[in-house]
Amino acid sequence: MKIESLPVIEGKHNLANYEETCKSFDWKDVEKEFSWHTTGLVNMAYEAVDRHAETFRKNKVALYYKDKNRNEKYTYKDMKELSNKAANVLKGYGDIEKGDRVFIFMPRSPELYFAVLGAIKLGAIVGPLFEAFMEGAVRDRLEDSGAKVIVTTPELLERVPKDLPELKYIFLVGDGIEEDDRTIDFKKKFENADKNLKIEWVDRQDGLILHYTSGSTGKPKGVLHVHNAMIQHYQTAKWVLDLQEEDIYWCTADPGWVTGTSYGIFGPWLLGGSNVIVGGRFSPETWYSVIEEFGITVWYSAPTAFRMLMGAGNEIVKKYDLSSLRHVLSVGEPLNPEVVKWGMKVFNKRIHDTYWMTETGAQLICNFPCMPIKPGSMGKAIPGVTAAIVDDRGEELPPYRMGNLAIQKGWPAMMHTIWNNREKYESYFMPGGWYLTGDSAYMDEDGYFWFQGRVDDVIMTSGERVGPFEVESKLVEHPAVAEAGVIGKPDPVRGEIIKAFVALRDGYEATDELKEEIRQFVKKGLAAHAAPREIDFRDKLPKTRSGKIMRRVLKAWELDLPTGDLSTMED
């Protein structure tokens, strides 16, 4: 089988020889990069920020922040002091102690990053929430985690449920805040806060961050990551992002998603890098102008964004100087070969696909600058990680056989547990020490992995993971909806869009107005990205005899595919 490939990139790279490194590499050696390998006690925020503030990087810019109103920069010394201040505010007025859950629900801003780092310095567990979440989604997460504090903005406050007994304090980041027993003006307290702090040293297996993510059944689950993950954040930021001292790095992901923390906060700062954070929404003009203005050298984004840029055409690219770009990466969904070719044409750069997921905490299968890229492939397992294709009994399959993509247990950034649900956590593993990703793939004879699809019904829309069950549950809360089934429908730009099949209750008429009303209902109840873009009314939905909606059949209807085995379907 001949597959065209893009040649290796010449130059000095942090991972120069993949094969050799695979042979000799040991995660234990990375521990020596950190001070804690002698004491055993650790704190991610110390390693990511304070440590550099005591070296030649003291006055190096750690964070460049830009949105339509602000354009600011902060050195490592600034970041140390400002995160100390945030920690003192959370401790002094929110009673935050080690292990408490602190949720951060706000648009990207420097304050968000101070608060995240500050909470971590106290040994708290941070729960970042994407700003688009509506009340139902916020409630599920605060309730499940027993959050003690939420840091939010006056604009988002109405989406924060007030009746949760465990939620003790609400910090508001904004102007003219009226305080009461429970509501605290973050900025005012921050201004007067002490910039010195005694960091809480924790065990490397203590909780760091809680990312909620969707599965095919049930409510979103809280994936708990621990401080130990820094070993892999550090090493992959080095090998895969290939960050070097002079780089200006931009990760476009929001910290509400795991890419925005593992590679928007931890990875780049553990390496002492300069991180560009851009607030506000996507537009091709702003994105290209950010690359030009900051001289971005390393850029980590997602297929859906690259496809939108591609859709905006090549003319607009010519208006900007993008020559600073050295290394471009992608994550989140399959990176189409056309997009890789487009990247070669307009940036004269290979786009490096990387594969991992919320649960794995860090990159697993990647394309490195030092290896040829086969467009359409996710690349190879990073040194220190064993990936394989296994059958349903955990037996490894030979090259080119499609099966479950599985990872051998034991990589450092692996989730620690699913919050309040050890059983769910355990269900990820199968005999032989394999962690099941939920994706199907095959491997070629050179060890490159090729993504084939999700094994479950999880939808990836514009790079965001949406569980069909969550959307269905919201749909049936609408008074007109009797039953609902939700699937991902292939889409050239978004990867998939959410399509809902709805059976109405008696007395409701199937009109376009009702469709729109139902759409808005999900949008307001869950989040804009979770609202179905298409709704079809049906008299009845295909169900198993036990009453489960058969999404497989809905998908077959939609895509004109054979419906497969219908023996379990009710009449």
| Interaction site with ligand WT7 (CB under 6 A) | 213, 258-259, 331-335, 353-358, 378, 437-439, 451, 454, 460, 465
Longest distance between any two alpha carbons in the chain, whole Å? 72
What is the DSSP secondary structure assignment for residue 396, as one 8-state letter? B
CB of 287 to ligand WT7, least distance (A): 19
**Both tokens of residue 137?**
């989604």
**Exposure string for 450-471, b = 16+ CB within 10 A, e = fewer:** bbeebbebbbbbbbbbbbbbbb
Beta carbon nearer to ligand WT7, 121 or 211: 211
CB of 240 to ligand WT7, least distance (A): 12
Beta carbon nearer to ligand WT7, 162 or 409: 409
Place of tokens 């889409």: 491
CB of 187 to ligand WT7, least distance (A): 32
Closest CA to 362 of 388, 395, 328, 385: 385
**Both tokens of residue 292?**
């030009």
Beta carbon nearer to ligand WT7, 49 or 443: 443
- Chain mean position to CA 539: 38
- The helix/strand/coil state of 449 is strand
Beta carbon nearer to ligand WT7, 111 or 439: 439
The residue length of the chain stands at 571
Question: Helix crossing, 512-525 with 135-145: angle to 10°?
Answer: 30
CB of 209 to ligand WT7, least distance (A): 13
CB of 435 to ligand WT7, least distance (A): 11
CB of 360 to ligand WT7, least distance (A): 7
Beta carbon nearer to ligand WT7, 339 or 460: 460
CA dihedral sign, ordered 95, 99, 100, 104: positive
CB atoms within 10 A of CB 416: 19
CB of 498 closer than 8 Å to CB of 565: no
CB of 279 to ligand WT7, least distance (A): 20
Half-sphere exposure of 268 (CA within 13 A, CB side): 28
CB of 100 to ligand WT7, least distance (A): 25
| DSSP strand pairing (169-172 vs 183-185) | parallel
Residues 6+ apart with CB under 8 A from 421: 221, 222
Convert 142-180 into a string of H (helix), E (strand) and C (coil).
HHHHCCCEEEECCCCHHHCCCCCCCCCEEEECCCCCCCC
CB of 2 to ligand WT7, least distance (A): 22
Beta carbon nearer to ligand WT7, 61 or 344: 344
Closest CA to 364 of 206, 225, 233: 233
CB of 439 to ligand WT7, least distance (A): 5
Beta carbon nearer to ligand WT7, 173 or 498: 498
**Any idea what the Cα angle at residue 204 is, between residues 203 and 208, rounded to 5°?**
95
